[in-house]
Amino acid sequence: MQIAPPDNEISNGEIPSGKITNRDLQPWPRPVAAWSAVALFCVAAVLSYTDRQILSLLVDPIRADLGISDTQVGVLQGVAFALIYSIAGLPLGRLADMLPRRAVICAGVGLWSIGTLLCGYAPSFWVLFAGRLIVGVGEAALAPAAMSMIADMFPAERRGLATGVFVMGMTIGGGVAIAIGGAVLGLAAAGGFQGIPLLDGLAAWRAVLVLLGLAGLPLLLALLPIREPARRSEALAGETEATSLREIFAQLAAVRTVLIPVIVCCAFMSVGDFALIAWAPALLSRRYAMTPDAVGLALGSLVVVAGVVATVAGGVISDVAVKRYGPSGRIWVATLCAVLAFPFALVALASSPNQILAAVTLWTLFSSAAGTIGITAVQEIVPNRARGLSVSFIAFGNIMLGLGGGATLTGYVTDHVFADPLAIGQSLTLVIAPLAGAAILLFLHAARTARSVSR
């Protein structure tokens, strides 16, 4: 298992070899139990990201029903969620390092389901805004606790695949949101919910949100039997494992020249992820008059497939790289993925629906792989008691900059720079491309700085 050494053994942000303690030699959880937990975490991530991203398909119905602008919709998709998610994520990450992680996850699922229900019944922009805040708090609990548990369930040579399966849920959640949302919208418009309690008489977009909120209950029941894995020590033999925030931040600061660039890279790439998922449906609808169900079937299916391939393949390939080159091997693979993603940030050059669909799909493929690998690399350079907190840092950047900036800024640029509802493609490129280029440079820096650690 890879370890984070104490401050006096680290210089210039490089990570030297260390010793494995007796606690690290205890048996790993049974594969069936470990993979069952990962599968449930993946399902939770799918539902989480579906709740988070579903507004992208509901943009125009919400605008018409509530009488709001593209900028306000961007706020609902971005700032309303991202601000509270980012603020709540850091203390929730700390709680995941201190409390039973299963309890943290279950509390989060219950809270975001309540928030989604509130969104479905919201009579105004501000009530919908409040519902998005609640969703943000609940969803902030999932990733830190789940990633910390996964790191304690799998050895390093299998951790990339396990992480990839979990992150796959996040990646395909946006596609599932579009696919399911489109199908439910079509069903609601055809009167499919007449006479059904809680749904009868609701506008189609409201019915979608209420159904997603109700879906949290069976997930919550399925998560309860998961067993909490033992926390595996990251301390060196003869050393005391850090537990105070001061000690933990000292250890994180010691690896900052690798840690900070990777966190920032993930955030920059997530701008493209969230911006494309948030606004590609509106682009296809406005420019090419595609219906919501058609957009859902085409874009949703492609994003789901790309997300599955990216996260699983990225995890497997990075596992091979870490066996051969150590943590820096993972980061080099992430760098290559970011380079391959960059051309597909130029969505403004697309001149047909198929080209737009291809750009979003291929961006998702390479960006999701880069993000999955980056998260796994971070888990391997920080101590156990900082894993939840480190994932919260990644989530903070991804959501605050990615969702908050990507979704909101794209809407703002469309309204105030181009002043043209049809200029979403140009807005997307203007927002995504510069940050994707910066991510490549930062990944290169991190890969050159990191060096192998012993397992």
* 378: pLDDT strictly greater than 60: yes
Q: What's the chain's Rg over C-alpha atoms? A: 21
Residue with tokens 């690798």: 258
Q: Is 3 left (phi over 0), alpha (psi -120 to 50) or beta?
A: beta
Short-list 26, 37, 56, 13, CA closest to 278 = 56
Report how many helices (DSSP H) and strands (DSSP E) the chain contains, helices first.
19, 0
Binned at pLDDT 50, 70 and 90, residue 102 comes out as very high
Portion of the chain with pLDDT greater than 90, in percent: 24
Residue pair 384/151 in contact (Cβ under 8 Å)? The answer is yes
Q: What tens digit of pLDDT does each residue of 28-86 get? A: 888 898 999 999 999 999 888 888 777 777 777 888 888 887 778 778 876 777 778 77
Q: How many Å is the maximal CA-CA distance in the chain?
A: 68
Q: What tens digit of pLDDT does each residue of 173-205 get? A: 767 777 777 777 778 777 777 778 877 778 888
pLDDT at residue number 174: 66
CA distance 382 to 327: 12
* 453: pLDDT strictly greater than 70: no
Portion of the chain with pLDDT greater than 70, in percent: 89
* DSSP code for 228: P
Q: Quote the mean pLDDT of the chain.
A: 81
* 234: pLDDT strictly greater than 60: no
Residue pair 164/322 in contact (Cβ under 8 Å)? The answer is no
pLDDT at residue number 65: 85
* 8: pLDDT strictly greater than 70: no
Domains recognised in the chain with CATH numbers:
7-449 (1.20.1250.20)
Going 238 to 244 to 249 to 252, the CA torsion angle's sign is: positive
Question: Hey, how many other C-beta atoms are within 10 angstroms of the C-beta on 438?
Answer: 15
pLDDT at residue number 17: 39
Q: What tens digit of pLDDT does each residue of 392-446 get? A: 888 788 877 887 778 778 888 988 898 888 888 899 999 999 999 999 999 998 8
In sequence order, which residues have a C-beta less than 8 Å from that of residue 201 and are 6 or more positions away? none
Q: What tens digit of pLDDT does each residue of 154-169 get? A: 887 778 788 888 888 8
- Provide the CB-side half-sphere exposure for 123 (13 A, CA): 0
Quickly list H helices, 215-288: 216-223, 245-254, 256-288
